[in-house]
Amino acid sequence: MDTDKTAKLTFEGALARLETIVDAMEQGEVPLAELLAKYEEGTKLLKVCEGRLKEAELKIEMLRKGKDGSLAVEPFAASRTE
């Protein structure tokens, strides 16, 4: 799969393709040259998935109730441990 097609995939599409690649690699019957190509594709797909998740994270907002009972929308602050 070329880079342009990979970059245009949805999160779900990229994840499904990545799962297919991992399954094929885990079976252990893939020739080395094909294995390397699948690894490279998988790396690109992983970056697409991470990018889509980051985009979604930035769009998520939380609804908070203030002390006076009013509602306010504020950005979601994800706590990540890396």
- Residue range 48-79, pLDDT digits in tens: 999 999 888 877 776 677 778 787 777 776 66
CATH code, domain carrying 64: 1.10.287.1040
The verdict on residue 80 lying in a domain is: no
The token pair at 76 is 């979601």
Cα–Cα distance for residue pair 81/62, rounded to 1 Å: 21
User: Residue 1 has what pLDDT?
Assistant: 66
The total number of structural domains that make up the chain: 1
The verdict on residue 59 lying in a domain is: yes
Q: What digits encode the pLDDT tens for the residues 16-53? A: 999 999 999 999 888 999 999 999 999 999 999 999 99
The verdict on residue 8 lying in a domain is: yes
